[in-house]
Chain A
Amino acid sequence: MKICVLVKEVPDAAVEKRIDPNTKRLDRSGEKNLNPFDTHAIEAAMQIKEGGTVDVSEIVAITMGPEGSERALHKAVSLGADRSIQLTDDALAGSDVCATGYALAKVLEAEQPDLVLLGQQSDDGECYAIGAVVADHLKMPSLTQVIEMETQPDKVVCRRQAEYGYDTVEVPLPAVISVGDAINEPRYPSLKAIMGAKKKPLDKKSAADVGIEPDKVGEQGSRTQVLAINPPPAKEPGEIIEDENTDETVEKIVAWLEERKLLA
């Protein structure tokens, strides 16, 4: 079984995020981290490989992004992927969800995976949707927000929380599965794995390399337009207490609650 994991780089949680008012795109200059949700997808792939029920021939990490986005791939291979592919092309800049999903599907078409895994959402654009977009292009069954997965040679049996409780769904392979963060606890890469990561093969591919039609990606391929960016309605900031002396802190909380008649 060949598993492909889609990953991306996102801004570090500590970096102030902003939208560039000129390009109306997310300012990605502060980016340096693998999307935390993607580490769960890689861990899920590793657990299938180590689980022994199915024979995993390789795990391939794939990203789409500008120069520098290969850092996400280094992290992905240090967590266990065997090799990685970076789709990078100026023509892809400004792609929306639909265009990004199409571009990634073209990379996957060439790879012919049995299972595509991805994190349920990315930390920046909050688009949960990529998995479903990719699946439709690949004509594969798909499921998102999966929190338990039992892999068999010809199918994955998935559990997830939907509108009315937990559902169990059998998905025949090949398939596209987005995993939720409750599915596993991702491992930390060993120092040896981090050092070895740069030695694992990394293929750089352009849009033309994977047969992407230029008018379906980038700004011209995107069917949504950002018309305006506005600040949210102002909200009175809350009171913040740093707990230095817990007895005093608790006194303050109790006083605050009492003032609002919440201890009646």
Chain B
Amino acid sequence: MSILTYALHFQGEFNKNSLGAISEAGKLAQQIGGEAAAIVVGGDDLTDDFCKSLGKYGASKVYRVKGPEGIAQPVVDAMAKVIQENGYKYALFGGGLLGFEIGAGLSARLGAGVTMEVTQVKVQDGKLVAVRPVLQDSALVDVGFAGEPGIIIGRLNAFEVTEAGGGDAEVIDVDVEFSEFSTKAQVVKRGERGDEGGVNIEDADILVAGGRGLGSAEAFKLCEDLAEVLGGAVAATRAVVDAGWYPYSAQIGQTGKTVSPKLYLAAGISGAIQHKVGMQNSENIVAINKDPNAPIFEFCDLGIVGDLHQILPKLTEAVKAKKGA
């Protein structure tokens, strides 16, 4: 009962969520009597030493495939081939965009069951059972698989990176003939980040985060003013970063950063799962939102139902006065 994972890499480093998936697969494989393997797809930067290093996270084998990077469909071709030829019973992915796309495509290709947003994997009767929160995390569903393989796609940061594995992984080169449609999409530019300046939000003790409820790029000034008096930094949701209101380097959640400051003050943020996964381990969460039904009120420590445009300026003044006193 062996498990295959996909290891995403970029500029000489493996993705943290991929390493988490390998670590998880290593632990699970021991319990179900199999081994964990990883597949990598890319160019000459996938050196022997780089691939072997996945052994320390728990991969006993690494399948190395030459192919295009940054798109999912070639990886689907490669994983389908390796799974079929070697009889892997499960495919496991760490959180992130490519894992979602690859896992979904693989499910169609192999007629296999897929479960996503998984936060925990359990072993029951020698089989894997994926635990998936649903309905804004108000229920946890245990999902089992009929037929093989079972495809499990983790939520961002669901699987911890542990160096519990053995020595070097065995590197196996695999030639894959890609499907015609899989290589049609071409990555023209990859990894544009724009403005990289400013404070590193991952190191900040206090974050004032702004979402769509701010209403405009200009309104981020309200967050900046409050962050300044609190001695913190400003963070943002994906929606406002995509809208161009705030730089990518400040983005929390999903494809952005994961933070756990002492105080996370969320202004105009609804608290969708994609954001929640990036900040739910903050010590104190304060939310200001005018919508009383916003999901963030389900998991904040202090929630204010009201207009942030009224509250933030007064809060900034009050904090300034208190600190000056």
CB pair B297 A136 closer than 8 Å? no
**B20-28, B31-39, B49-57, B114-122 - interface stretch:** B114-122
- Could you tell me how many residues of chain B have their Cβ less than 8 Å away from some Cβ of chain A? 96
- Which of A128, A137, A163, A243 is in CB contact (< 8 Å) with B10? A163
How distant is the Cα of A166 from the Cα of B242 in the complex, in angstroms? 10
Decide if B248 is an interface residue (CB 8 Å cutoff).
yes
Please give, as numbers and ranges, the residues of chain A lying within 8 Å of B180 by CB-CB distance.
Answer: 139
Which parts of B117-137 form the interface with A (CB within 8 Å)? 117, 124, 129, 133-137
The residue of chain B having its C-beta at the shortest distance from the C-beta of A178 within the complex is B101
- Which of B134, B142, B243, B302 is in CB contact (< 8 Å) with A253? B302
Q: How far is the CB of B245 from chain A (nearest CB, A)?
A: 10
Please give, as numbers and ranges, the residues of chain B lying within 8 Å of A256 by CB-CB distance.
Answer: 286, 302
Please give, as numbers and ranges, the residues of chain A lying within 8 Å of B323 by CB-CB distance.
Answer: 263
The residue of chain B having its C-beta at the shortest distance from the C-beta of A237 within the complex is B298
Q: How far is the CB of A53 from chain B (nearest CB, A)?
A: 18
How distant is the Cα of A241 from the Cα of B139 in the complex, in angstroms? 26
- Which of A19, A141, A162, A246 is in CB contact (< 8 Å) with B181? A141
How distant is the Cα of A247 from the Cα of B306 in the complex, in angstroms? 12
How distant is the Cα of A136 from the Cα of B112 in the complex, in angstroms? 13
The residue of chain B having its C-beta at the shortest distance from the C-beta of A258 within the complex is B322
How distant is the Cα of A141 from the Cα of B72 in the complex, in angstroms? 10
A232 in contact with B310 given A180-B242, A182-B242 (CB within 8 Å): no
CB pair B310 A132 closer than 8 Å? no
**A86-94, A167-175, A188-196 - interface stretch:** A167-175
Decide if A208 is an interface residue (CB 8 Å cutoff).
no
CB pair A227 B242 closer than 8 Å? no
CB pair B108 A136 closer than 8 Å? yes
Please give, as numbers and ranges, the residues of chain A lying within 8 Å of B133 by CB-CB distance.
Answer: 232
A241 in contact with B302 given A142-B73, A226-B141, A258-B322 (CB within 8 Å): yes
CB pair B115 A128 closer than 8 Å? no
Q: How far is the CB of A214 from chain B (nearest CB, A)?
A: 14
CB pair B185 A142 closer than 8 Å? yes
Q: Hey, what's the 0/1 contact readout for B65-94 against A, CB within 8 Å counting as 1?
A: 000001111001000000000000000000
Q: Hey, what's the 0/1 contact readout for A206-246 against B, CB within 8 Å counting as 1?
A: 00000000001000001111111111100100111111001
**B157-165, B167-175, B312-320 - interface stretch:** B312-320
Which parts of B188-217 form the interface with A (CB within 8 Å)? 188-194, 206
CB pair B181 A166 closer than 8 Å? no
Which parts of B250-268 form the interface with A (CB within 8 Å)? 255, 262-263
Please give, as numbers and ranges, the residues of chain A lying within 8 Å of B111 by CB-CB distance.
Answer: 98, 216, 223
CB pair A225 B144 closer than 8 Å? yes
CB pair B181 A139 closer than 8 Å? yes
Decide if B104 is an interface residue (CB 8 Å cutoff).
yes
CB pair B135 A129 closer than 8 Å? no
Please give, as numbers and ranges, the residues of chain A lying within 8 Å of B10 by CB-CB distance.
Answer: 163-164
**A56-64, A74-82, A110-118, A143-151 - interface stretch:** A143-151
- Which of B105, B113, B137, B318 is in CB contact (< 8 Å) with A136? B105
Please give, as numbers and ranges, the residues of chain B lying within 8 Å of A129 by CB-CB distance.
Answer: 100-101, 103-104, 107, 114, 116
CB pair B114 A224 closer than 8 Å? yes
How distant is the Cα of A229 from the Cα of B142 in the complex, in angstroms? 6
**Leading 3 A-B pairs by shortest Cβ distance:** A243-B306, A223-B113, A182-B242
* Residues on A facing B (Cβ under 8 Å): 13-14, 17-19, 26, 96-98, 101-102, 124-137, 139-145, 147, 157, 160-172, 175, 180-182, 216, 222-232, 235, 238-243, 246-247, 249-251, 253-254, 256-258, 260, 262-263
Q: What would 11 more interface pairs be, CB under 8 Å, given A144-B97, A254-B315, A260-B263?
A: A14-B293, A19-B134, A131-B104, A162-B70, A165-B193, A166-B189, A229-B140, A232-B140, A238-B299, A243-B305, A250-B318
